[in-house]
Structure formats: structure tokens, C-alpha cells
Structure 1
């Protein structure tokens, strides 16, 4: 039901869509107009350029509303506000212009709702990778408020966008500071007060012992490795289990122990060494190398968790993987080679102090991530209420007088 004073209109009634141009690789240049592609809508500043004759309908100005009609659901598909330089539009993206007097900020928020509607109707192959026609967007019917209400709605939602952008910047700064701290403290370039003396290099096999305990029906908690999430249940990561029906041949690991997937496809990230933190116990396939601290008087698990997260083992991993056997495009790290790699360690007290400082920085990042997630959820709920008229805004007399 349309709220009082509002109208139900199709997007095509009050918007025009101008398609981008299919710039061929042979037309690319190193200077001229930046070509705005899908990847640039996702934040990439890597542009190809066009140095030929440009048609007006291709031109995109900062602040223009764009709609990617081919892309990945929830990532690259749908309405975007262009914040980059003046450029020319590539194919698979519409530039959106209102036909009548509407608030452009309200229009952008309304098109985000349209994006969700189109995505929700997708099924089968199109459920993730979307490729729609202009009519799929233009025929969407939405409730349209009077201009004064559009203005008010846009101001409210823009305030949330500003808060989200500020929090995103704070999060990016915090992540960068944590990264810099790890690079300095985990290499000894920066020492904490009260610590001195030489660091030492030790073989992984001297610091850790391998864990090869078979599951034997003790656990059905199958985890997978994620660069961002660490060791996480398959149901949480993949939204389903991809494990074998019988888990008795899997390795059983316990909280505080480490795991690394020794086999991965060439061209994909190498993954990461991760510590089991979420659960008391879990099982992983035999493709994993599992291990634990051999002597807690020599090494701190907290320190080494950060050491691995910072990627200091990756160079050695890459070397032994490329020197190892290859089959059908797979690279494989042999356990013997894995445990022959070296790690750099200060004395145990300094390890623990370093881990404590990094954990504090990590906590700040996590708090900002929570703040950002909350703001995004609140904005989404507010959009649902304001853009459907379930929650009406008040337009004061001063606004009416200046309209």
C-alpha cells in the first residue's frame, strides 16, 4: 500500500539509463579519459584510458549515479555513487539520470532498494552472478514521496553514510597501524622498553611438534581455513559442509594448536597458518599439517600466531612449494620441508610482551569492526522504514516556504 501523498511509479518513469561503451583492448591508452569499469566501482584505482573521440552519454562526473547491470550479487552488482575522477563509462554499467525533479541522493538510496529487489528475484545460476536487462531495473515499481520528503529522507540517510564513512576510515587507519606495529615488533626493528639482546633463529621443527591424532569419532566439528576468519566451521564459512561422510580419517586438533593446508591450487593465495581459537576441538582433513608448541619455555603461541598472521613464513612456504612436486596444477608443501623453515624469536618474556601489545591493537580493530557492522545494520533498517513510508518524516514550514 502506497502511503498518503506518495505515488507508485516504475523506475523507468522517472529515470533514464545510458549504457557505457564497449572499449576494446586495442583502444586502450596510457593517457586520456579514465575508463570506468566494474572493478573501479569496487574501489580499484587501476584505470585503462581512452584517448579517442568521446560521446556525451559516456561521460561520468564525480557524484553521478551508476548502476552495474552485470556483476556479483552483494559485491559489484547494482547502484553505486561514483566518487572517482571524471571519466568514460565502460559496458555493463548504466549512468542514471532523473527525467523529472527528484532529489539525487534520495534516488541513489531508492536504487539501492531496487538493487536488493532485483537480487532477491535472481535464482539458479543467476543467484550469485547477475546479468540483467534494462527492463529488469526500469520496470521495478517503488513508492515515490513528494520532493520535500525526498529531501528530508536523503538528509537523514546521508548522515548515516557520513558516520559509516568516518568509521570505515578509522578502521582502515587502525588496521594500518596494527600492520605497521606487527612489522616493527615481530622483526625487532622496534624494541619494547626494557628488552635488549640478540634474537635467535629456530627451525619450525625445533619450536613445534607435529600433531597427527586421528579423529576416531570424537568430533564432528569440521573446520576450514580462512585468511580473515582463521579456522572456522565449514557451515559458518561455506553455509554447508563439504566434508566426507566419515570423519574417522581426519586429524583431531585442540584449542591452541595450529594448522596449515599444505595443498593448494597454483594462482590462488597460499592460505595461512592459523591457530584454533573458536572451539575446544575440531577436525581437519589430512591435507593439513597440524602442530603445537613443543616447549612453552621457549616459545609463546600468542606471539607465533601474530608472526604467522603477518606473513613472515610465506616466503619460505612459497619457495618449498615451488620446489616440491606439482600435479594437475596443485602445489604441495611437504611436512619435512615445512618443519625445516625458520622462525625468528626473541626471549620468551619479550615474545609475551610483543603479543600483548599486538593483541591490544587487534582489539581496537575488532571494536571498530563491530561499530561499523552496527551502523550498517541500523542504516539498512532505517532505509527499509523511510523508503517505504512505514516511518514518515516531518517537513517543517521553513522547508515548505523555500521549496
Structure 2
């Protein structure tokens, strides 16, 4: 369609409370397209999930895509629970906390759901608005701009039912809403398939790690016996002490739960009192002795080369008997996490310091180097598959975000 601009507004468009929109579009408030008022959820404690009870949806049970998290379901056991059961065309909004603004459109495939007190339910009137179109708008940039402005008016992140009811939404004809909803729904189905495939691959990887790294599952061609050996057979303590830089430098940290090394670029040397730091190189095994019990351990990549750490992050190089790639996976296992826990005595948090002496004495059940390398190659292969899928997923999400921006503002029109 050819757009001729006049006074900075294209022909066929107009100014509105939501910015420039097509002339035939309206702007309506959420309350005008819903049945009744916004309702607050039940004030009840979660109990262990039971098939004999309805599942409980709380603010923590809605993921970043607006889906109900099925992996850690809980239930609610309350005499009034039936009054808070979600129905088809119900949408709930998070009303407080860091995730205020998140929404979930009820999906009957999620089963019976009772919504919690920090959620607000609106029942969409599908005779006047398409439920998927409305829900899709709650993932758009204009919506999140509104959330940011509205939620901080009181100084605390929160939006009440009256404020949500006053939310302004773009309102094309119902046929165009349906066309937009159908388009975005197809993208969501593709994204969901990718999410499902990634989950399947990650479960397969988990199963392979449990079997291959314990010796319970052997690769073809390997029959030699595994042995218990201390880590000092494979690791060499290798500190590379340097003077604290005068200028800004790359500092490194370690995430707990095996989440790897993170960067603190342009780190100000004045922020630390120590005069000596230690350099990390590619393929170093790095451990945070303060949080080793929480699996703060990783193997450095090329991107980490030259980064600096404190004395609380000892670095180790690998002997000729070890495959660094094998240990990349081995250190993420639950058994190794338990071993780190045992050599980190003390109370919680910073009082639990791993013994560097005991670390090298840890006994691990391990194959010869050739089998280590073969196992590592299998696991690395599936890791790369997962990473490719995640990259594709990120691209799909980014493209959908751009599509939402043009469809939900009317700057791009669909035939209907």
C-alpha cells in the first residue's frame, strides 16, 4: 500500500491516545471488552501437587512467554477454590512484585487452575474482542511502557484492578483482530515447537550424562576398566599472580549452579583493596572456594582468556591424562556437586569455604583419556545441537517482536 504523508501522518492514519493508528481503528479500555470487573485471586497456601486437587497458578508459575509452568506444579486445597477456577477466555495479570504486568491467557490443556491472590482475573467478552489479539497486546512494547509508568506511581511496583481496567488497547474491527491473532498464533506455535524440541534435547543430554559419566553406559569400542583416581592426577594448581592493574580491566566471576563464568568488563581497580590478582587462561578449571558447595565451578573458554580473579578463585590446568572437554561435563554432575559440598564445611553462604587441599584429594571414577574424549565428543555434539536450536528460537522471538510492533499498531495491515 502506498503511503502519502501529510503533516507527519500518513493518509489513512490518525493520532490517538496510543499514538498513530489507522483511521478506522478505535481505542478502548480493558473494562469495556470484558465481562464484569477485575477479580483478585484466592488467599491460600500451596500444597504438594495432587491429581485429586486443582493446580495452583501463582505469579511464579507464569513464564516469560506467558505460559503456565508445568514442571513444578503445586495444588491448592481450600473449600472456596472452585470460586477461583479459571475458565476459557479468562486472562490473569500479575498485580505486584518484580513481574508485575505479566499475563496468562487460560489454556484448557493446562487443566483445572485456581488463581492466587497476587493475580487479577478479567473475563474477556469474545463477542467484542478476540481473546488472542488482546493477550498478544500484553506482550507488546506499548503495553510494557504503560506497565512501567503505571506500576511505579505509588513508589512500589504494583497495578490494581481499577488501573488494569483502565488499560487502553488498540481496537480494529473484529475480523482484523482475528487475522492478526491467527498470524501471531502461528508464530507462537512455531516458537512452542522449538521450546519443546529444546526440552527434549536437554532431557536426552541429561540422560546421556548420567549414563556415560558414571560408566553405566559405555560407548562402542571401549571395554577397559574404569578406576577411582584423585583429582591431583588430572589437575595442576596453576596460579598466575599479577599486580593489580592501574587502568580498567576485565574481571571474571563465577555463577553458582554450574552456570559458568561471567565478565565484568572495564572493572575499576579502585573497587578492590587487593594488590595482587590472578590471570585466567583458556581451558583453566576455575572454582570459587566460597560457593563451591553451590557448584560455582567452570572451565574457561577463549573469551575468558586474560581475565583476572582474586585469590578466592584458584585456577588449575589439566595434566596429559585428562580431557578438559570431558571435565566440562563431569563437573556439572550431581555426584561432583555433592563432593564439593562435603569439602566445604561451615554454615551457610560465605562461611562455607572449600578446602583447596581437600579438593585435589577428591576421588573420581573415571575412564582412560581416549574414552574421556569419546564421551566428551558425544556430549559436545548434542550441546551444539541445543545451542543452534536456542539461537533459532531467539531469532524467532525477535522476529515475532518486530511483527507484533507493526501489526498491533496498524503500521502493517493484513488482508481479511
Q: Answer whether TM exceeds 0.5 for this pair.
A: yes
2:300 aligns with 276
What is the correspondence of 1:4-403 to structure 2 with a 5 Å cutoff? Answer: 4-15=23-34, 16-25=36-45, 32-42=53-63, 43-44=69-70, 45-53=72-80, 56=83, 58-61=84-87, 64-73=90-99, 77-83=101-107, 84-99=110-125, 101-113=128-140, 115-121=143-149, 130-217=157-244, 220-226=249-255, 227=257, 229-234=259-264, 244-245=271-272, 248-264=275-291, 270-277=294-301, 278-293=303-318, 295-296=319-320, 298-321=321-344, 324-326=345-347, 330-395=351-416
Q: 1:115 to 1:19 in 2, by over 3 A?
A: farther
Displacement of 1:134 after TM fit?
A: 2.5
CA contact (8 A) 1:214 1:251 kept: yes
Deviations 1:56-81 (A, max 9, x none): 4x2202563211112323xx741112
Q: 1:26 to 1:40 in 2, by over 3 A?
A: closer
Deviations 1:124-174 (A, max 9, x none): 8999x8322234333332321110100000000000000000000000001
Aligned residues: 381
Q: 1:33 to 1:304 in 2, by over 3 A?
A: closer
Name stretches of at least 5 consecutive residues in structure 1 with no aligned partner. Answer: 396-403
RMSD between aligned residues: 3.1
Displacement of 1:93 after TM fit?
A: 0.7
Q: In structure 2, how many angstroms separate the alpha carbons of the residues matched to 1:389 and 1:215?
A: 59
Name stretches of at least 5 consecutive residues in structure 2 with no aligned partner. Answer: 1-19, 64-68
TM-score, length-scaled by structure 2: 0.82
Displacement of 1:25 after TM fit?
A: 4.1
Q: 1:102 to 1:167 in 2, by over 3 A?
A: same
CA contact (8 A) 1:2 1:8 kept: no
Deviations 1:282-310 (A, max 9, x none): 112222232111x21x1111111111123
Deviations 1:260-285 (A, max 9, x none): 111139xxx70332011123221122
- SS state of the match for residue 317, structure 2? strand
